[in-house]
């Protein structure tokens, strides 16, 4: 079936949004970066064939010396402290980063959208209780609360992901609920109600598509910021066991080598700059896209 | 305004209660032996944990244990910190000044720099300055604090040998230890104490150790402020009163700074709470990387060594700071914007 982009108002707006995003050079840059990372993550087994096929996230090591070795022919990016291959870690770490971002944001957004929509739409006691609970959870900074949960559940990357998901859903509830509240009493919603459209259908077809945009923006930004927070927790030592391909842990491994010997203080730069650069570029890609989405969705800036 | 503050104080108690139940609930997933540590006040007691479990009834139902814990906290006993090897309450006053000092320098810089950058880039919208500061903001936004701190340390300490990590140099620390009669630690903040004692050597040494931590904190936190300031300013500049002011012949400076900026500051006040939260999170990373023994360092260390009384106390403290900040923000908001009345 041929889609008529001009006739359907929602499709017309979507096309307008897409054009606006693709005309934004920073968004295109972000998109290219992201495509690069996605390709690396998908093709990881081809780019860096695992030495241990059963546990591919385990970084291969070439000995046990704590002193990092510079890039060579066998180790393109060199080895970090403990002789873990940086190239392998960076490639498989991309998968880890996507796993963290997708799981945390996916869970938090799903819970937040559901609770926010229902609470905002129905209001009443449930809404009141939920929002007071959100107030309480909001009182502790993300990192601190997540750390407390990881401590309680035990160390490990999975627990970091679960902890972050259990913390950040609060942002989505607030944003989603605020959006639903402004739409709930609009004339078109009232009209739908008068025509006997069911509550579920009103929420799904009339409210959700109009209230979802701010959520999309913060979800995009969070894909990056969750990787930052998770990598910091790995850096502190709350993450996966040593040798797991994770950018934050790779930075932690190199921590004692940020300053080289006096005659060559920057000798071990690659141990920090390569995994660290990956974190920055990954986060930057999501932020550039998020920024463009915000500009494209912002009604005050949209038609200018 | 009176009833408003009263209501908010009630809200404060509610939130603190909620936070304590939440954190207590999370930490209840530990074995009773681990939790017994929360009731230890001296290192000797640590030896007979099983007896402590019985004495304090750590196998009791949640609400009984919670009630008991609240009683202890109300009596001023926050437990024993394994990391600090001191009671949590005593250790708190040792670590708090270090973090306070960092933010005492960083906060004014963040506010001044953020407002200045945001205002300028809104006035010169789509100009090179605007693009540059937006790139700066988005990079600051994407930089993990700990990574940026490490790179600064690598370059300015490793390569240039300029700004060492830590709070204070060995020589200065020795000097302070050996001269307790002429150098009194009024506040626990190195630079402030140095100035109060009229000892510039100590003050300058403290400052030297603060340059990189403060820089990190400012660059990572300022992005949010700058972004909000910029969009607020752009919105204000397109309003009718700006056109009126221009029509009356007001010069650019008056229009921008006296009319538009004042109004653009209103939305900025609303993100102040978020800025405080960012600063708290930033302090953790900054203190861990620069090896400054402040609250952030203590918290991270406690998390890796399962020092639960500290985690409990810290969550409560941060909750308290957060709620009070929000209260102050609401009052400020009404003070700045005469259209808002607090009832």
DSSP string over A66-82: SS-B---SSSTT-B-TT
CB contact under 8 A, A259 and B154: yes
Q: Which residues of A touch B285 (CB under 8 A)?
A: 232
Chain B, nearest residue to A284 by Cα: B142
Residue A85 DSSP SS3:
strand
Burial A122-153 (b: 16+ CB within 10 A, else e): eeeeebeebbeebbbbbbbbbbbbbbbbbbbb
Residue A33 has pLDDT above 60, yes or no: yes
Query: Which positions ≥6 away from A256 have C-beta within 8 Å?
Result: A66, A81
Of A147, A284, A287, the CB nearest to B303: A147
Q: Long-range contacts made by residues B153-161, C-beta under 8 angstroms, separation at least 24?
A: B153/A258, B153/A259, B153/B212, B153/B289, B153/B290, B154/A258, B154/A259, B154/A265, B154/A266, B154/A269, B154/A272, B155/A266, B156/B211, B156/B212, B157/A259, B157/B212, B158/A258, B158/A259, B158/A260, B158/A265, B158/A266, B159/A265, B159/A266, B161/A265
Number of Cβ atoms within 10 Å of the Cβ of B11: 15
| pLDDT score recorded for residue B42 | 66
A174-188 pLDDT per residue, tens: 999 999 999 988 999
pLDDT band at A166 (very low <50, low <70, confident <90, very high): very high
Q: Which residues of A touch B154 (CB under 8 A)?
A: 258-259, 265-266, 269, 272
Of A151, A260, A300, the CB nearest to B235: A300
The reply to whether A62 falls in a domain is yes
Residue B331 has pLDDT above 90, yes or no: no
| pLDDT score recorded for residue B343 | 62
pLDDT band at B267 (very low <50, low <70, confident <90, very high): confident
| Residue count of chain B | 343
End-to-end CA distance of chain B: 6
3-state helix, strand, coil in chain A (%, to 5): 70, 0, 25
CB contact under 8 A, A151 and B280: no
The reply to whether A1 falls in a domain is no
Q: Which residues of A touch B145 (CB under 8 A)?
A: 232
B37-59 pLDDT per residue, tens: 666 666 676 677 777 777 777 77
Report how far apart, in Å, the C-alpha atoms of B167 and of each of A260, B178, B208 are. Answer: 22, 18, 9
A241 secondary structure, DSSP code: P
Higher pLDDT, A265 or A163: A163
B71-98 pLDDT per residue, tens: 888 888 888 888 888 899 999 999 999 9
Which among A279, A303, A296, A304 has a CA at the least distance from the CA of A27? A296
| pLDDT score recorded for residue A174 | 93
CB contact under 8 A, A144 and B26: no
**Token pair belonging to B208:** 């030297």
CB contact under 8 A, A135 and B15: yes
Range of the domain at A189: 33-297
The reply to whether A101 falls in a domain is yes
Q: How far apart are CA B233 and CA B121, in angstroms?
A: 9
Residue A97 has pLDDT above 80, yes or no: yes
Distance of CA A120 to the CA centre of its chain: 26
pLDDT band at A191 (very low <50, low <70, confident <90, very high): very high
Report how far apart, in Å, the C-alpha atoms of A245 and of each of A77, A86, A188, A223, A250 are. Answer: 14, 9, 51, 19, 7
The reply to whether A182 falls in a domain is yes
B192-209 pLDDT per residue, tens: 988 888 888 889 999 999
The boundaries of every CATH 1.10.3720.10 domain in chain B are: 88-164+218-336
Average pLDDT, chain A: 90
**A 125-144 near B (Cβ less than 8 A):** 132-133, 135-144
| pLDDT score recorded for residue A300 | 66
Print the SS3 string covering chain B.
CHHHHHHHHHHHHHHHHHHHHHHHHHHCCCCHHHHHHHHCCCHHHHHCHHHHHHHCCCCCCHHHHHHHHHHHHHCCCCCEECCCCEEHHHHHHHHHHHHHHHHHHHHHHHHHHHHHHHHHHHHCCCCHHHHHHHHHHHHHHHCCHHHHHHHHHHHHHHHCCCCCCCCCCHHHHHHHHHCCCCCCCCCCCHHHHHHHCCCHHHHHHHHHHHHHHHHHHHHHHHHHHHHHHHHHHHHHHCCHHHHHHHHCCCCHHHHHHHHHHHHHHHHHHHCHHHHHHHHHHHHHHHHHHCCCCCHHHHHHHHHHCCCHHHHHHHHHHHHHHHHHHHHHHHHHHHHHCCCCCCC
The dihedral over CA atoms of B287, B288, B289, B294, expressed in degrees to the nearest 10, equals: 20
Taking the Cβ of residue A178 and every Cβ of chain B, the question of whether any pair is shorter than 8 Å is answered with no
B302-315 pLDDT per residue, tens: 998 888 888 888 88
Mean per-residue pLDDT for B111-136?
Answer: 90
Number of domains observed in the structure of chain A:
1
Of B288, B308, B318, the CB nearest to A144: B318
Q: How far apart are CA B203 and CA B183, in angstroms?
A: 12
| Percentage of chain B exceeding pLDDT 70 | 96
Q: Which residues of B touch A151 (CB under 8 A)?
A: 27, 303, 306, 308, 311
The torsion region of residue A197 among left (phi > 0), alpha (psi -120 to 50) and beta comes to beta
The reply to whether A303 falls in a domain is no
Residue A161 has pLDDT above 80, yes or no: yes
Mean per-residue pLDDT for B151-170?
Answer: 89
Residue B7 has pLDDT above 70, yes or no: yes
Report the number of secondary-structure helices (H) and strands (E) in chain A. Answer: 14, 0
pLDDT band at B214 (very low <50, low <70, confident <90, very high): very high
Chain B, nearest residue to A236 by Cα: B300
Q: What is the largest CA-CA distance in chain A?
A: 80
Sign of CA dihedral B241, B245, B251, B257: negative
Q: How far apart are CA A257 and CA A83, in angstroms?
A: 13
pLDDT band at A282 (very low <50, low <70, confident <90, very high): very high
Taking the Cβ of residue A33 and every Cβ of chain B, the question of whether any pair is shorter than 8 Å is answered with no
Superfamily of domain B88-164+218-336: MetI-like (1.10.3720.10)
Model-level pTM? 0.90
Q: Which residues of A touch B298 (CB under 8 A)?
A: none
Of A147, A266, A300, the CB nearest to B154: A266
The reply to whether A213 falls in a domain is yes
Q: How far apart are CA B338 and CA A213, in angstroms?
A: 32
| Percentage of chain A exceeding pLDDT 70 | 96
Mutate to test the interface with B, among A97, A232, A257 (most CBs of B within 10 A): A232
A45-76 pLDDT per residue, tens: 999 888 888 888 988 888 888 888 888 888 88
Q: How far apart are CA B117 and CA B137, in angstroms?
A: 10
| Percentage of chain A exceeding pLDDT 90 | 58
CATH number at residue A111: 1.10.3720.10
Q: Tell me which residue has tokens 């929602």.
A: A10
Print the SS3 string covering A22-68.
HCCHHHHHHHHHHHHHHHHHHCHHHHCCCCCCCCCCECCECCCCCCC
Q: How far apart are CA A184 and CA B129, in angstroms?
A: 42
| pLDDT score recorded for residue A61 | 85
Q: How far apart are CA A235 and CA A252, in angstroms?
A: 5
Least confident of A270-284, B62-76, B288-302: B62-76
The CA angle B208-B214-B217, to the nearest 5 degrees, is: 160
The phi, psi pair for A197, rounded to 5°, reads -70, 140
Average pLDDT, chain B: 87
pLDDT band at A29 (very low <50, low <70, confident <90, very high): very high
Q: Which helix (H) or strand (E) holds A234?
A: helix A213-236
A198-211 pLDDT per residue, tens: 999 999 999 998 88
| pLDDT score recorded for residue B209 | 94
pLDDT band at A4 (very low <50, low <70, confident <90, very high): low
The reply to whether A199 falls in a domain is yes
Mean per-residue pLDDT for B13-32?
Answer: 85
Q: Which residues of B touch A287 (CB under 8 A)?
A: 138, 141-142
What value of ipTM does the predicted structure carry? Answer: 0.88
Q: How far apart are CA B218 and CA A150, in angstroms?
A: 28
pLDDT band at B181 (very low <50, low <70, confident <90, very high): confident
Higher pLDDT, A32 or B137: A32
Q: How far apart are CA B275 and CA B222, in angstroms?
A: 9
């Amino acid at each position: 079936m041929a889609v008529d982009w001009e006739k359907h108002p929602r499709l017309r707006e979507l096309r307008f949004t897409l054009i606006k995003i693709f005309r934004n050079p920073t968004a295109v840059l972000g998109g290219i970066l992201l495509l690069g990372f996605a390709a690396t993550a998908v093709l990881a087994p081809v780019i860096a064939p695992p030495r241990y096929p059963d546990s591919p996230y385990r970084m291969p090591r070439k000995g046990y010396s704590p002193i990092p070795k510079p890039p060579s022919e066998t180790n393109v990016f060199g080895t970090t402290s403990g002789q873990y291959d940086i190239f392998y870690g960076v490639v498989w770490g991309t998968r880890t980063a996507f796993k963290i971002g997708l799981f945390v944001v996916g869970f938090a957004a799903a819970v937040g959208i559901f609770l926010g929509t229902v609470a905002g739409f129905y209001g009443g006691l449930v809404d009141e209780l939920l929002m007071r609970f959100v107030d309480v959870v909001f009182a502790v900074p993300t990192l601190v609360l997540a750390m407390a949960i990881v401590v309680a559940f035990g160390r490990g990357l999975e627990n970091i992901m679960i902890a972050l998901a259990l913390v950040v859903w609060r942002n989505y509830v607030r944003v989603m609920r605020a959006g639903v509240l402004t739409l709930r009493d609009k004339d078109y919603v009232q009209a739908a109600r008068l025509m006997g459209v069911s509550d579920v259908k009103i929420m799904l077809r009339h409210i959700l598509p109009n209230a979802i945009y701010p959520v999309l923006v913060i979800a995009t930004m969070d894909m990056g910021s969750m990787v930052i927070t998770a990598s910091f927790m790995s850096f502190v030592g709350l993450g996966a066991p040593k040798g797991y391909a994770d950018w934050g842990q790779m930075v932690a491994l190199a921590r004692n080598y940020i300053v080289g010997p006096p005659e060559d203080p920057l000798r071990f730069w690659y141990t920090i700059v390569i995994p660290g650069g990956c974190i920055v570029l990954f986060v930057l890609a999501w932020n550039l896209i998020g920024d463009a989405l915000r500009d494209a969705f912002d009604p005050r800036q949209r038609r200018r | 305004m009176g009833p408003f503050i009263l209501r908010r104080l009630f809200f404060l108690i509610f939130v603190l209660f909620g936070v304590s139940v939440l954190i207590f609930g999370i930490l209840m997933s530990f074995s009773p032996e681990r939790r017994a540590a929360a009731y230890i006040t001296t290192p000797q007691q640590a030896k007979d944990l099983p007896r402590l479990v019985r004495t304090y009834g750590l196998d009791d139902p949640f609400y009984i244990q919670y009630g008991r814990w609240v009683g202890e906290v109300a009596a001023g006993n926050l437990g024993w910190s394994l990391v600090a090897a001191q009671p949590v309450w005593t250790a708190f006053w040792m670590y708090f000044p270090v973090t306070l000092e960092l933010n005492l320098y960083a906060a004014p810089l963040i506010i001044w720099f953020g407002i200045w950058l945001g205002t300028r880039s809104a006035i010169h919208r789509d100009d090179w300055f605007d693009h540059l500061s937006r790139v700066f903001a988005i990079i600051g936004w994407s930089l993990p604090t700990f990574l940026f701190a490490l790179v600064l340390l690598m370059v300015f300490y490793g390569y240039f040998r300029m700004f060492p990590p830590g709070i204070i140099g060995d020589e200065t620390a020795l000097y302070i230890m050996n001269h307790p009669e002429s150098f009194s630690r009024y506040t626990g903040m190195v630079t402030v104490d140095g100035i109060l004692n009229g000892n510039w050597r100590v003050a300058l040494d403290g400052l030297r150790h603060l340059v990189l931590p403060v820089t990190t904190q400012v660059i990572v936190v300022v992005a949010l402020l700058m972004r909000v300031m910029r969009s607020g300013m752009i919105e204000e500049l397109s309003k009718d009163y700006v056109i009126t002011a221009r029509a009356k012949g007001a010069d650019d400076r008056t229009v921008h700074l006296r009319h538009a900026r004042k109004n653009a500051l209103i939305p900025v006040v609303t993100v102040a709470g978020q800025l405080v939260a960012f600063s708290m999170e930033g302090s953790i990373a900054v203190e861990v990387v620069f090896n400054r023994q402040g609250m952030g360092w203590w918290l991270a260390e406690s998390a890796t060594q399962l020092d639960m009384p500290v985690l409990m106390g810290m969550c409560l403290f941060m909750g308290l700071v957060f709620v009070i900040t929000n209260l102050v923000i609401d009052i400020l908001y009404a003070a700045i914007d005469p259209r808002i009345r607090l009832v």
